[in-house]
């Protein structure tokens, strides 16, 4: 069983996760996808989220699957912020992990330091080149290819997590898959160096953060399936 943990603003039916589920099934692995927020009237909204809430969601999913099917191995796969969600889990009732270009707060610290070096005033703690505080809305706005509204609580939980030691607290087989075209690639190397064995690290050259360039998404799934075949078919012992 593969549990897919989505990235910032994505959902269970976003293209990458939908196609991943199909690829895993063809390789003999069932998958479970879930939404952390949604459009339904009674669904949680993204502005009400924090990473700790996402962690609680993941632990609920894994705990439930483990209780219902105790003899079935569970691998968690997380992209970007989904990777940080996995690293912050405490109970670790899963058996293996794959991280797709996982979030690392080091990249935010670098950007903030660069901004401060220019002498620019920082009006709010997390403001930066692509992050603006919107006083009328009471939240931050990410100004990327498209704008995203993010609560201060969510942004704080994203940017203040102590990422580097988290990987050393993970005692499960872990594979880190980095997108070669992003600044996060060096931080995936940091994760790998500090991870516990068994571990693996691969860079998919030419990949953007969402693995949408060329055939890089196909490579992403193939590298993930390779780890699933090695570590996702047997239960680990703790």
Measured in whole angstroms, the distance separating CA 179 from the mean position of its chain's CA atoms is: 13
> How much is the average pLDDT of 116-142?
76
Residues 14 and 101 in one domain: yes
Tell me: pLDDT of 192 over 50. Answer: yes
Nearest partner of 104 among 151, 161, 148, 157, judged by Cα: 161
Q: CA-CA distances (angstroms) from residue 95 to 61, 193, 198, 215, 231?
A: 14, 20, 12, 29, 8
Same domain, 119 and 180: no
pLDDT over 90 for what percent of the chain? 83
User: Which two three-digit tokens encode residue 202?
Assistant: 């691969």
Of 230, 172, 196, 210, the C-alpha closest to 20 is 210
Q: What is the pTM of this model?
A: 0.91
Residues 95 and 118 in one domain: no
Check residue 4 and give its pLDDT: 98
Predicted confidence at residue 114, as pLDDT, reads: 44
The total number of structural domains in the chain stands at: 2
Shared domain for 98 and 13, answered yes or no, is yes
- The separation between CA 137 and the C-alpha centre of its own chain, rounded to angstroms, equals 27
- Claim to verify: residue 69 and residue 88 sit in the same structural domain: yes
Same domain, 56 and 122: no
φ and ψ of 96, to 5 deg = -155, 165
Domain of 129 in residue numbering reads as: 106-151
3-state DSSP assignment of residue 90? coil
Does residue 87 register a pLDDT over 50? yes
pLDDT at 211 over 50: yes
Residues 138 and 172 placed together within one structural domain of the fold: no
Is 238 among the domain residues? Answer: no
In this structure, the answer to whether residues 85 and 176 fall within a common structural domain is yes
pLDDT band at 237, cuts 50/70/90? low
The dihedral sign for the CA sequence 17, 19, 22, 24: negative
Span 62-67, average pLDDT: 96
Average pLDDT value for the chain: 91
Question: Residue 116: its pLDDT value, please?
Answer: 47
234 — pLDDT class (breaks 50, 70, 90): confident
Q: What average pLDDT does range 185-193 have in this prediction?
A: 96
The answer to whether position 237 is within a domain reads no
Whether pLDDT at 120 is above 50: no
Shared domain check, 14 and 99: yes
Class of residue 74 by CB neighbours under 10 A (exposed 0-12, middle 13-18, buried 19+) = buried
- Looking at per-residue confidence, does 110 or 35 come out higher? 35
Q: Give all strands of the β-sheet with 131-134 in edge-to-edge order.
A: 131-134, 139-143, 147-150
Percentage above 70 pLDDT, the chain: 92
Q: Tell me the mean pLDDT in the region 141-154.
A: 92
Whether residue 117 has pLDDT greater than 50: no
Q: Which helix or strand (DSSP H or E) is residue 187 part of?
A: helix 185-194
Long-range own/partner contacts, residues 165-168 (CB < 8 A, 24 or more apart): 165/194, 166/84, 166/87, 166/88, 167/87, 167/191, 167/194, 167/195, 168/194, 168/195, 168/196
């Amino acid at each position: 069983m593969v549990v897919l943990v989505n990235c910032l603003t994505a959902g269970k039916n976003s293209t990458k996760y939908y196609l991943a589920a199909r690829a895993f099934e063809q390789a003999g692995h069932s998958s479970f996808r879930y939404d952390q927020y949604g459009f339904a009237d009674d669904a949680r909204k993204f502005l009400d989220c924090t990473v700790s809430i996402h962690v609680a969601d993941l632990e609920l999913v894994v705990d439930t699957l483990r209780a219902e099917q105790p003899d079935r191995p569970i691998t968690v796969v997380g992209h970007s912020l989904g990777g940080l969600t996995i690293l912050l889990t405490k109970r670790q009732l899963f058996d293996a992990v794959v991280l797709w270009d996982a979030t690392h707060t080091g990249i935010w610290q670098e950007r903030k330091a660069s901004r401060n070096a220019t002498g620019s005033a920082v009006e709010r703690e997390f403001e930066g080149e692509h992050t603006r505080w919107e006083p009328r809305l009471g939240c931050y706005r990410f100004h990327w290819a498209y704008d995203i509204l993010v609560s201060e609580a969510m942004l704080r939980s994203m940017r203040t997590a102590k990422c580097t030691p988290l990987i050393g607290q993970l005692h499960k087989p872990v594979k880190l898959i980095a997108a070669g075209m992003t600044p996060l690639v060096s931080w995936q190397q940091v994760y790998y160096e500090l991870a516990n064995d068994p571990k693996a690290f691969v860079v998919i050259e030419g990949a953007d953060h969402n693995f949408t360039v060329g055939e890089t998404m196909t490579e992403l799934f193939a590298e993930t399936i390779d780890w699933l075949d090695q570590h996702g078919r047997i239960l680990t012992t703790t």
